[in-house]
Amino acid sequence: MEGTGLRRNLILFGPPGSGKGTQAELLRQRHGLDHVAPGDMLREHRAAGTELGRMASSYMEAGKLVPDEVIVRMIRERLEAGSSPGGFVLDGFPRTVGQARELQAMLAEMERPLDLVVVLDVPEADLVERLGKRAGLEQREDDRPEVVGQRLAVYHEQTEPVLQYLGDQVPVVRIDATTSAEVVNQNLMRVLI
Ligand code: ADP
């Protein structure tokens, strides 16, 4: 590794409200990692009124996952479009075992293998509280209480199994993410250096 220090291709893994987006953004700003977040990309598509955005809307409003093939195509294009020399942080992908398989195949093809999966650990009760607060602040319609329950159920049913799948192939570390964003960032940096 030369000069710039950390070079990591990583997945930030955790339930909705665990702070993946905040941490990924800090890694981008402070360490130049490419922040790849399908949720943000989909919201941009919706705001721009593209066909993809219109198609994704009904799933997002219901707290359900957008079909794998759509997401995988979007991520593939995103990763192919630019490669940050500092590495990338995937925030909100993969969310199904099918997505994880496709990811591993595409990264092997691109010769940009994953270095690490970081799990942000937050108890369920805290998540519900955090998302409730965010609903007021950011006006994200999927933070409404009735949709939050659905998103957490999807996480347990479809996304948690991804950890088992990836855990056989990539190192996994868990971080306590109940503290402030700064403290979580410090703990995260410790496992990245
Ligand atoms: P959070 O992690 O707080 O749930 P995101 O912004 O990552 O929020 O995702 C918002 C919504 O976007 C999801 O509920 C889902 O409808 C859609 N979405 C995001 N990432 C994926 C993905 N990898 N696969 C399928 N749908 C996704």
Reduced DSSP (H G I as helix, E B as strand, rest coil) percent helix, strand, coil of the chain, to 5: 60, 10, 30
Count of structural domains, the chain: 1
Residues with CB under 6 A from ligand 1: 16-17, 38-39, 42, 59-60, 63-66, 71, 92-93, 95, 99, 142, 151
Q: What is the pLDDT of residue 1?
A: 43
Q: What is the pLDDT of residue 5?
A: 56
**Other C-beta atoms lying within 10 Å of the C-beta of residue 106:** 15
Residue 3 lies in a domain: no
pLDDT of 17 higher than 70: yes
Q: What is the pLDDT of residue 7?
A: 65
Mean pLDDT of 73-95: 91
Question: pLDDT higher for 132 or 118?
Answer: 118
Residue 1 lies in a domain: no
User: Confidence band (pLDDT; 50, 70, 90) for 6?
Assistant: low
Q: What is the pLDDT of residue 141?
A: 86
**Domain assignment of residue 130, given as a range:** 8-192
Q: What is the pLDDT of residue 174?
A: 97
Residue 102 lies in a domain: yes
* pLDDT, tens digit, 9 for 90 and up, residues 39-54: 999 999 999 999 999 9
CATH code where residue 106 lies? 3.40.50.300
Q: What is the pTM of this model?
A: 0.94
| Residue of 18, 71, 89 to test ligand 1 pocket, by largest number of atoms within 8 Å of CB | 71
Distance CA 104, CA 110 (A): 10
Q: What is the pLDDT of residue 135?
A: 82
